[in-house]
Structure 1
Amino acid sequence: MGAVRQLRPVTAPTVGAAIGAYLSTLDHPETAGTRRVYTSTLRQLRDHLGADHPLSALEQDEDAARLVDWFTRRWAEQAPATFNRNLDALRSAIGYWRDQDWLHSDPTRPLRRRGRAPDRTRALPKTAIEDLLTRDNLSLREKTLWRMLYETAARASEVLALDVADLDLRNRCAKVRRKGSAVDVIIWQTGTARLLPRLLRGRRRGPVFLTDRRARLPLAPTDLDPATGQARLSYRRAAELFTAAAGGATLHQLRHSALTHAAEDGANTSTLLSYSGHTSVASLARYARVSPEALGRWQQQRDPTTRRR
């Protein structure tokens, strides 16, 4: 006969303590990005409700309605992706709290994720990219970074995180850490291969892409060039420089364009998945959509009248 245990009621903590307990479950290297994003959302919730507010109060209709109203007002005007990301953060925490028996219902139930209209214009024409990458007034750092991003179709965050030791210059490849911390290989072409040695100038340690000046604030040794004290180039600064040079285009559009152009050149799904680092075809689909111009050329090639001529 099994032992009989007396069940004790679980006392729910305050909102501040509950948020702290949930975020502690994300304290791992592979969840660092998720923790950073979710922390921002949950801190705003804590500031709205008050750190000492009883978490159990969210079971009450009045507090639940207050939460829904706050969330709607806070993010209703944001892009669907931003709205959904913050809702995911909130629901992930609520799911944890329910697992602890601190809550027994989901106060966000009236909220619905928002659909995103597909953006089919993000790929830049090949001619526009080539014009951009061959400008005479580009610094060597930007010329190398942008060409590497386009040739590898890697995420900018992955390339900016590269250290010199990660590079295999002879084989034109490097190991990168993808989303979810998976280790993968990116491969570049002749354009990047010719630029990298000039950029590195014999350096064997430190970040590949550096700031123009020495770091002014204390940074982790892994984000500094030991010889010059220059810091790793940040995503924010890299994105600002590209947008200014490209007339408003975003750094991410280099990746989008690379995948679209590869699809137009006939790359199959397996190749595109390896090229992009995606793990699902659904994630890849919005990138690998051919342009109207490429679709027009394909139709013209298939047109029986054109073929007879």
Structure 2
Amino acid sequence: MSKRQTEGVGTLRPAPVEYGAAVDRYLAAADLGSASRRVYRISLHGWAWPLVDRRAPTGRERRGAHPPVVPLNLLDDPEAPDRLQRGLADRATAAQPRTLARELACLRAATAWWLAQGWITTDPASGLTPPTPCPEPAPPPSGASTAARAIAADPERARAALALRAPLRELTLWHLLHESRAPVEQALALDIDHLDLPGRRTKERAVGPLSWGPGTARLLPMLLAGRTAGPVFITDRRAPATTPAADRCPVTGRGRLSYRRVAELFTAATRPLDPAGRGWTLLVLRDRVHRNRPVPR
């Protein structure tokens, strides 16, 4: 064990009062490279939010967000493990399993070190477990009852989701999925030159025939303002250089939005609407009985 790793062990240095200061002292003592230290700092700061029952920022906001001031003794609160477990479940909607496992490992390493210093008396991270992903429900069979199909497409839930205050990109896609009854993959494959905006439908050369209603017709022109080519739905960040030109916006350099990201955003956005607190899947936007009906030309 290196000198930096053993700093404070056996000497029981006075405990810092604040969680952020404890993070700084842990990272100063840890035998980590500069890149790993940066990753640990971002991960550990992210855990400050659930400790005070607040949702952590996601996406680009996460890296630059200033964590709340948290007393270190909150880690000894009997409710701390439950708060962290809720934070873990919330983070699971926006992070890949590998990222989630890494962030949990960062927390466990830090709390174990703080426990060894005598700064906390219990380890609230020791029993945390990543939530088991909920599989996407299978489509109802062709002979399913009306009640079974209603579970897959609940009009009340769809209306509640479409009434949410959400970014323009998400609202446009949700309206398109709801009004066109298209599979998500088909909607995400759309390019701007596939669209017949006045006709509220796709052109002949599109990935498949689609039509939409007034909600999508109102939002699409705002979403596409300043862009005349490339994918309709694009990411928040510029695409990697290896991204095919067909999947990159020639104006902004951003890439085509992925199914996984769309599903994560919808589940996170609808969590406050779900009595179970898990959020909904994109199935609530689609009438699966008629989603493949042909569009008249």
TM-score (norm 2): 0.44
Give 1 or 2 for the bigger CA radius of gyration: 1
Q: Which has the higher helix share?
A: 1
TM-score (norm 1): 0.43
